[in-house]
Amino acid sequence: MLGWSPSAVRSSVRSGYVHPKRGVRREYRFDFQDLVALRAVKQLLDAGLSRRRVGLALGRLVEELPEERTLAGVRIVADGDRVVVEDGEEIWNPESGQRVLDLRPAASRATSRPLRHEPPSLPAEPDLAAEEWYQLGVELERDNPREAKAAYRKAVGLEPAHVDAHLNLGRLLHEEGRVRSAADCYRQALELRPADATACFNLAVALEDLGRPMDALAAYERVIEADSEYADAYFNIAGIYERLGKRAEAVRYLKTYKVLTG
């Protein structure tokens, strides 16, 4: 959704830009506000601002906003080497708290609106390409996961090599408890993209859930081969070794996890 690598997202979490919840398997669970914040971070970093400045500005902004206001209700942009925030009425620098004079033409101001979340719905005449079905599935997940699964199935039906549609369909099935079906989706994704760390990780979790710890270990090791900074893989490996009574191995992987997330 953001066009950002998993390692970059985890780096932003470690930097304190967002504070996602943890799932039952210690995976990150991002809500809509987290995605808004991550998108803002990416845009600011892409504009050339330092991570320190971005972290300071967003931290101050969260403190300044009243409880009823969220990051989804403001627009955050880079203005030279500083961060400015716009809420439709005022523009200010969250680091200094100073208001900023808006010198843009009226036409430019009129098109600058805060992000709004509109509940998605199925098109009246769903004659869509595979990628359009996939994007529709992404939009539907929050409010209508059943329709999201249908959209992902449409996507892979039209384009069997659509890796992300296989992955997202598998994740939704997994959350429903249909673990074997989810694992099949993850395997299909891996056949198409063998070095995909997310597909490897999801398959490993599914294998754990199916009571196959040794196969899960092999899958987690494959995750680390694809992405050596995939912290959750180290954590889950440590958990398996702990349950197998291999404490030394568990401690070794847990130490690496703490280094990556510390």
Each residue's pLDDT tens digit, 172-199? 999 888 999 999 999 999 999 999 999 9
**CB-based burial of residue 229 (10 Å sphere; 0-12 exposed, 13-18 middle, 19+ buried)?**
middle
| CATH number listed for the domain at residues 130-227 | 1.25.40.10
* 185: nearest Cα among 128, 233, 193: 193
Cα torsion 129, 130, 133, 139: sign: negative
- Listed as ranges, residues in the chain with pLDDT below 70 are 1, 7, 15-17, 24-26, 67-73, 87-89, 97, 100-126
- What's 6-110's CATH class? mainly alpha
Positions of CATH 1.10.1660 in the chain: 6-110
* 234, HSE (Cβ side, Cα atoms, 13 Å): 16
Positions of CATH 1.25.40.10 in the chain: 130-227
Convert the pLDDT of each residue in 6-53 to its tens digit: 767 777 777 666 778 877 666 788 877 777 778 877 877 778 777 777
Note if the pTM is more than 0.85: no
